């Protein structure tokens, strides 16, 4: 009998806000801090640094839940980036000048600094606001290092929702398994 290579999903690494986030609708349990509350148009936010593990999946699906306070123009975008690092220490070795902590990212210089990050997904938004969470799998990527953090850059024309109840970024390990 031939060996088959099948794919299974591993345990997600999930950035969301510890104060507001509820996994009721997403089904994802928060593992790392990222507060997307009222993230303004043209602004970016970085999440806390994560350890993907010494032994980790080679590929990850990127799934997000984003909600706007006011309806953005359909077709605008929210961009998701990865800041890789060789170190588990928050402020050490991070691509793109990230701090390793949940914080505003390079205020006023976002468009310059994100060029040093790895683009891992783009959410093309719909014309929907509060009470409509836009869920999507926005990409797939191969993290080059064990450690890293997500950066969310809002270029959708409107601020994100005034709470972070249903907003998250999840990396879902795509695991190849021989059977």
pLDDT tens digit sequence for 88-138: 999 999 999 999 999 999 999 999 999 999 999 999 999 999 889 999 999
Joined tokens for residue 31:
């593992």
Helix (H) or strand (E) holding 50: strand 50-51
Q: How far apart are CA 41 and CA 102, in angstroms?
A: 18
| 3-class state of residue 96 by DSSP | helix
Query: For tokens 């926005």, what's the residue?
Result: 138
- Any idea where the domains of the chain sit in the sequence? 5-178
pTM: 0.96
Q: What b/e sequence results for 57-76 when a residue is b if at least 16 CB atoms lie within 10 Å of its CB, and e otherwise?
A: bebbbbbbbbbbbebbeeeb
Q: Please state, as a whole number, how many other Cβ atoms lie within 10 Å of the Cβ of residue 100.
A: 23
pLDDT in tens, 66-96: 999 999 999 999 999 999 999 999 999 999 9
Is domain 5-178 annotated with CATH 2.40.128? no
Query: What is the pLDDT, as a whole number, of residue 135?
Result: 98
In the chain, what is the greatest distance between 2 CA atoms, to the nearest angstrom? 59
pLDDT for residue 1 is more than 80: no
């Amino acid at each position: 009998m031939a060996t088959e290579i099948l794919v299974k999903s591993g345990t997600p690494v999930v950035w969301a806000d510890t104060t507001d986030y509820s996994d009721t609708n997403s089904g994802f349990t928060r593992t790392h801090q990222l507060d997307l509350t009222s993230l303004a148009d043209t602004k970016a936010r970085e999440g806390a640094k994560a350890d993907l593990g010494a032994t980790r999946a080679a590929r990850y699906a990127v799934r997000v839940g984003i909600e706007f306070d006011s309806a953005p123009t359909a077709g605008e975008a929210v961009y998701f980036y990865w800041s890789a690092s060789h170190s588990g220490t928050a402020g050490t070795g991070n691509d793109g000048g990230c701090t390793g902590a949940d914080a505003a990212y390079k205020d006023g210089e976002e468009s310059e600094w994100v060029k040093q990050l790895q683009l891992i997904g783009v959410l093309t938004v719909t014309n929907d606001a509060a009470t409509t969470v836009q869920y999507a799998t926005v990409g797939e990527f191969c993290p080059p290092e064990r450690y890293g953090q997500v950066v969310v850059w809002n270029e959708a024309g409107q601020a994100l929702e005034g709470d972070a109840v249903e907003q998250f970024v999840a990396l879902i390990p795509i695991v190849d398994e021989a059977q």
